[in-house]
Amino acid sequence: MSDKPFIIGVAGGTSSGKTTIAERLVDSMGADELALVKLDSYYISRTEQPMEERAAANYDHPSAFDWDLLNEHLNKLLNWRPAPVPTYDYTIHDRTDIVDVVQPARIVVVEGILVLWNTELRNQFDLKVFVDTPADLRFIRRLERDVVERGRTQESIISQYLATVRPSHEDFIEPSRAHADVIIPEGGLNRPALDVLLARVREIVN
């Protein structure tokens, strides 16, 4: 294979529907045709930090991510080589010892809150998507998700949202929307917009 894979970046605020869109693309195209890389896999290692310090960190700030490793792995996929992507455990705020080997494919989707913020990463994208969902809806979704899936208390979620999540969204995530080629209101709930995106991806493959 000599042609470069088609790279799609999907960004947006916390619980905006980015993952729903990315997973719908995978379901529609199949894993053989589409490789999915999630920014959350590239949270920096915090093994040396005590749990209290990990819990207090700002996970929505650009400094929370290992951009060099992500760009290195994307370059592997661009050259039709597999990428050994780390896995992350939200309950301990750290990477695990498990490595998820992502195989190259004709389409690569990179999904995460800040994927349109990082210039080196953004410049690799052939299509840049921003998922635009109202803040109150995003907060409710995040509250429900973190209680059920990550074993957190409502108090800790609200405190984190006010202290770091909302300010980082306003400072970094929302401004990155200016780089988007396509803006999808309300994420995976916007079926017409999602169908248009799926049709475009099928055109690329066919």
Domain ranges of the chain: 6-205
Domain 6-205 has CATH 3.40.50.300: yes
Residue 186 confidence (pLDDT):
76
Candidates 184, 179, 34, 169; CA nearest to 110 is: 34
Write down the residue that tokens 């017409």 correspond to: 192
Q: Is the pLDDT of residue 2 over 60?
A: no
Rounded Cα distance, 176 and 148, in Å: 29
User: Which pLDDT tens digit goes with each residue over 106-137?
Assistant: 999 999 999 999 999 999 999 999 999 888 88
**Structure confidence by residue, pLDDT tens digits, 29-80:** 888 889 999 999 999 999 889 988 988 899 999 999 999 999 999 999 999 9
